Amino acid sequence: MGVWSTLSALVIIANLMIDTKHVLKVTAVWISIVYIVCFGGVALVPDIRGWFMMYALHTNVTSLENIITLGTFISGLVIWNIIAALAVWLFASLWNTFKKS
């Protein structure tokens, strides 16, 4: 794919509206997969949370304990799906609003 065809594709994509319902469905699947991997990682390797917090978020949380239950799994999955859906909905709404003007 040459430079001109790539630029043409970007121009076409930039002129499209986002199908909000479709992108929300994709987001729900994506964030669920990420959450399951993260929850599983913390369940199987408990020290990974402290390592991640220290190196990715520059925070020391060594005094906190991991609470891994079915209830925390389900509630976390619901909470992160709501957060992701709101973020993507806001992005799609802003994108579509600015595309109309």
The domains of the chain are located at 18-100
d(CA 36, CA 22): 22
Task: Calculate what percentage of the chain has a pLDDT beyond 70.
Answer: 81
Q: Which of the residue ranges 11-20, 31-40, 42-51, 86-95 would you say has the lowest mean pLDDT?
A: 11-20
DSSP 8-class letter at 18: P
Q: Write down the pLDDT at residue 8.
A: 58
Q: Write down the pLDDT at residue 82.
A: 96
d(CA 48, CA 62): 11
Cα angle for residues 55, 61, 63 (degrees, 5° grid): 145
